[in-house]
Amino acid sequence: MQKIQELQKRLYNLLLNPHIRDWERHLLKTTKDSLNERNLNEQLTKLEAELRPLALRNNLTPDVADFYQELTGNQVKHSTKRTHLITDPVHQQRAVFAGGCFWCMVEPFETRPGIISVLSGYTGGTIENPSYDQVSSGNTGHVEAVEIIFDTKLVSYQELLDLYWQLIDPTDAAGQFQDRGNQYRPIIFVSDEQQENLAQKTKQAVIDSGKYKKPILTEIKALETFWPAENYHQQFYQKQPKRYKAIKRVRQQFLAYQRLRGKLRSVAQKIRRQFR
């Protein structure tokens, strides 16, 4: 009886979620209304079978995707939303970067010394508390981004900026790598004048390096409200390592090729200057 009550409560909370799709809502409501002690296993088996085709294609809305993992006996790691807080205002700061899909922006920062927490989310748009589906449409103005809380005693904002420029294609304002769309454009969001000055200096350094033939299009904008993404998207590299590694490989191959072209371009420029 307790198991049914817990499950009905879980289903009820999902039904209250405004961001799940109508057909998901229909399946969940049908299951909730049909549950009893005698048909529990039958109803759960039926629900799992109905959700499976979309789950295998990674096409469930995030919270339903988490529920499906629980339904199939997989442990769901919950996000850092509740612990993603500045606890020492004197020595802790925030940095917010957008650089394509946020799945690939977490690990490079989170694994560095001095990083306290990294949260995936959405910012820069026109509606409050957007869902992944809404942002993915490209119509809300939001970008996928990461908010980083870091310890200034161990790592500086300058060091985070230096890492950021290594992770993106700064010449592409229509997306990043295989991720296309307005929601994937690269932006540095700054929270104060000091961050803005440092960001502008690093951008100018990239321009002056001569490594890129195309213009540097990465924006620098004032930080707006940062909306945390659904639990499914948090620490994605830990939850789905195989899928993450495949996506990461594509980015790394492109960046390696771009860096090689940049080096060749720099060498060519030096040779031309010698013969002037």
pLDDT of residue 82: 67
Percent of the chain with pLDDT over 90: 63
Q: 91: pLDDT confidence band, cut at 50, 70 and 90?
A: very high
Catalytic residue among 101, 135, 190, 229: 101
> Where do the structural domains in the chain lie, given as residue ranges?
2-71, 92-237
Strands 187-190 and 219-222: parallel
pLDDT of residue 79: 58
Q: Report the CATH fold assignment for 92-237.
A: Peptide Methionine Sulfoxide Reductase; Chain A (3.30.1060)
Longest C-alpha distance within the chain, in Å?
88
User: Which residues, other chains included, contact 218 with Cβ-Cβ below 8 Å and sequence gap of 6+?
Assistant: 168, 170, 173, 186, 187, 188, 203
The stretch 178-196 carries a mean pLDDT of 96
DSSP strands (E only) in the chain = 92-98, 115-123, 143-151, 175-176, 179-180, 187-190, 219-222, 226-228
Rounded Cα–Cα distance for residues 1 and 201 (Å): 63
Rounded Cα–Cα distance for residues 247 and 130 (Å): 24
Report if pTM > 0.75: yes
Rounded Cα–Cα distance for residues 244 and 102 (Å): 11
Judge whether residue 81 has pLDDT over 80: no
- Assess whether 104 carries a catalytic annotation: no
Judge whether residue 157 has pLDDT over 90: yes
Rounded Cα–Cα distance for residues 4 and 79 (Å): 26
Q: 171 or 7: which carries more pLDDT confidence?
A: 171
